[in-house]
Structure 1
Amino acid sequence: MNDPWGISGPDFVVLYIALLGVVLLVRLIVSGVMAGRAMRADDGRPVPPPTVYQLAFLAGGPDRAVDAAVAALVDRGQLRVNSYKQVSQAGARPSEPLEQAVYDVAQLKTTATIRAYVRRSAVMKALETGLDQQGLLVSAAAKRQSRTIGLVLQLAVLAFGLVRLVNGISLGRPVGVLVFLVLIAAVLAIVAAVRRSKTGARQPSAAGHRVLGQARSAASGPVPAGMLAGGVLLGGAAAAVALGGWSMYPDEELSAALTPPASFGGGGSSGGSSCSSGSSCSSSSSCSSGSSCGSSCGGGGCGG
């Protein structure tokens, strides 16, 4: 037999395409299995009462935690919002770590810009670590393990194709189609490597969903504002934003001013209106009613 490895070019192409498909399928299966394991079975053990910012992280990730801190500071008058939707310092520096990080950044910055700074901060990392240690977040190690397995499989298929390609070129065989398939395998390997390098947003585990559900149930029940339910202060603007986002902020005008644009991540777009008596407004002094702060195989040898 003159065919390399006893496999003709066309047969190898079919085999290689099948391998590419099988690896993609295996990656999906492994990812699903690992995701289920990463959720961590909820054994129902009690966890320490979560803070409002831990609840915000569980409900919407780092950005929601930042939003809740902004809401708390605006509500207490320690931050104010001007007519250009920029947040600036207005009162004493808070003592809570996340609130301090937000306060220090808030120097004529939009909510989107504050998010971008604080989500990378040490205090946000500490908040995430605390939730992780309590088993309230999906295991990052399990997700990384599944992506590592996918990357190894993808690199193995790429190496298999490259060896066949080099062998075919050394024997003077036409390898055009195989070159194309190897390029596809290389792109898939690069994508797998990039996915492995990115941690992505942390999601609540089964226990995290339980804690979050309990807090939402308590917040929607007959609990007076400011009362403790399940160890969480349910009253106030911070809790409303933590569990429901800016749409739940009690002041509609401030909610519109503090909500980042849906299509743009950061930047300070100016509003077209101004407050009735100056350039700033807070929860205690809102704007007037009319404004808002607001690929052909030929000759039987295409596979080398």
Structure 2
Amino acid sequence: MKNKLINLFIFLSPFILIILTLFIGRYPIPLKNIISVLIDPLLNNQSSLPEPFYTIVWHIRMPRAIVAALVGASLAVSGAAFQGLFRNPLVNSGLLGVSSGAGFGAALAIILFNQSSFFVYIFAFLFGGLAVLLSYFIGRIYKTTPTIMLVLGGVVVSSIFSSLISFVKYVADPYNQLPAITFWLMGSFASARYKELIIAGVPMIVGICGLILTRWRINVLSMGDREAQTLGINPSFDKGIIITFATLATAGAVCISGTIGWVGLIIPHVGRMLVGNDNKVLIPISCALGASFMVIIDNIARTLTSGEVPIGILTALIGGPFFIYILKKTKGGAW
């Protein structure tokens, strides 16, 4: 009973945090006006409250909070899926090069289309998917998909796209384009609005739902290819399905938020500390934990200083020490 209550709280926490986030920021909204700000637009009621209250809550903070939750959920659930699929506790959501590919696509779009946000999202998504596709085909060099070959393919493709990012930064205009590329690569939700939410939200939701629906197959594949075949699973086909869903989720997240590290690595480990290694439970728990974590980090990023701290900096500063704590507490037993 206690475990069910804990799991229920974990699943509800992203929604609670999103609501609380609407009233956190440098523009104060009195607590007594919270209900009116949330309810009046839904009921088409006339209110005497200042118009900026509604604009800030519904058009700035609301889409940003939803995007942060979706990005956190996408990165965490992809990391958990890859860790189970590759049977490696050090794997994260960017293993197959999606982050490096998306970074190159965004940098290229910033140079070619004068920092147009629409083309940045599209190019980041397409090149993130291309990077994973290249990694997968490299992994099938022997017409199979052994785990080690997929990992090596991801390392090679990540290295190539990282070099291409460096080249694009080298040729970029140092006064306008280079700062834009640099800040995009650090990660931020500052530009998140409903239009961007629709563009990036669809692949994230499809990827998350796909991984949740196929999570039992990850348990089978984690036993090894021979065992999976014995149980009637086609390892190559099912690996391709899981990688596709994880790529959709991660590419959708990266194209709207930039490169954010550590989430896909540490959140699944936290989930294992709570529910164990069974992916049928771990995948949904990681999804909820990732969403909550990213909403909290985004609140810290936009309130910590007079400016906005890039998300990627905070996740690295928090994720590194926290991962050390996990290793010390579990002595490697979380895996």
TM-score range, shorter chain: under 0.3
Normalized per residue, the structure richer in strand is 1
TM-score of the two chains, using structure 1 as the length reference: 0.23
Normalized per residue, the structure richer in helix is 2
The higher radius of gyration belongs to 1
